[in-house]
Structure 1
Amino acid sequence: MSLNLVRAFSCARTVFAKKMVVYAPLPNLRNGQNLMEHIKQSQYAKFDKSGAKQAALSLHNKERIRADDIVTVVYKNQKPVTGQVLMVKRAGLNSTILLRNKITGLGVEMNIPVFHPNIIRLDIVRRPANYKPRNRHYYIRNSRLDVGELSGGSK
């Protein structure tokens, strides 16, 4: 009797086994581009239509923003901000620059996200004759190398 039960179960498996369904391959979306790369490029197109901000941060560009440059950041709804670049963080859409200026003798630092929608452009006001041999100039704070009071607004 137990032999009949075993056969009944084995027959039930073969009779009720599901067939595998094979679908046609999906068409290539985004021209075969990786999803994250596509999202990144669409965000760049949204926040940097002209490509000027990307060019200002590109390591392949000779005219890129570097530490020790004097930069003016022009906003849509507020006055421009001028300062010496202490640090450039290149992290795609999360890229930032750290500006330092002295206002009425007090050192002020501003961490500015480059691809923020309210930033219109970044203007390089002045470049040094020779760049210092470091990428991040935190050491100039409260030293003889510290920036003076930089005028904001125009070149």
Structure 2
Amino acid sequence: MGEKMIVYEPLPKLRNGKNLMQYIQEAQYEKFDKNGNKRKSISLSNPERIRADDIVTVVYKNQKPVTGQVLMVKRSGLNSTILLRNKITGLGVEMNIPIYHPNIIRLDVIRRPIKYKPRNRHYYIRNSRLDVGEIGANGKN
């Protein structure tokens, strides 16, 4: 009666010195961002990261590239997104782009502002005098 019966083999607590969630997250980064360029492009420690107010082109595998001004960068692991705004025939269009989507090849910064605005989310530019013009693939209005 004093003997314990083993119902199942206990799971290992660490995988390569990491807990389960860190291990899974790094496996997902390896799958969706093999060379680490996307992770580096939004890392807060990188001075050349993508920031709000940059003009960015998103290059896809099987469709035309998308260009726009970054309104917001949401950093939340594999769910990180950027919100791009452009005007197409005078109508403001916003696209929420998931950075780690498998069809995205790379993110190219076309133009950076001379001086960044003091906020990191630029929702206030919508329908104001600060709103973006039509941005072509070369970054010109």
TM exceeding 0.5? yes
Structure with more of its chain in helix, by fraction: 1
Q: Give the counterpart of 1:103 among 88, 91, 95.
A: 88
Matched, 1:65 2:50: yes
Output the aligned Cα RMSD.
2.1
The structure that has the greater radius of gyration is 1
Percent identical among aligned pairs is: 75
Q: Using the alignment, how far apart are the partners of 2:38 and 2:135 within structure 1?
A: 23
1:42-57 aligned at under 5 Å gives the runs 42-57=27-42
The alignment of Structure 1 onto Structure 2 pairs a total of residues equal to 138
TM-score, normalising length: structure 2: 0.90
Where do 4+ consecutive residues of structure 1 move more than 6 Å? 24-28
- Aligned equivalent of 2:112: 127
- Aligned equivalent of 1:77: 62
Unaligned runs of 5+ in 1: 1-16
Q: 3-state SS of the aligned residue for 1:49?
A: coil
Structure-2 change in CA distance of 1:61 and 1:19 (3 Å): same
Unaligned runs of 5+ in 2: none
Contact 1:80 1:153 (8 Å CA) reproduced: no
TM-score, normalising length: structure 1: 0.82
Q: Cα offset for 1:20? A: 2.5
Q: Deviations over 1:81-112 (max 9, x none)?
A: 00000000000000000000000111000000
Matched, 1:117 2:102: yes
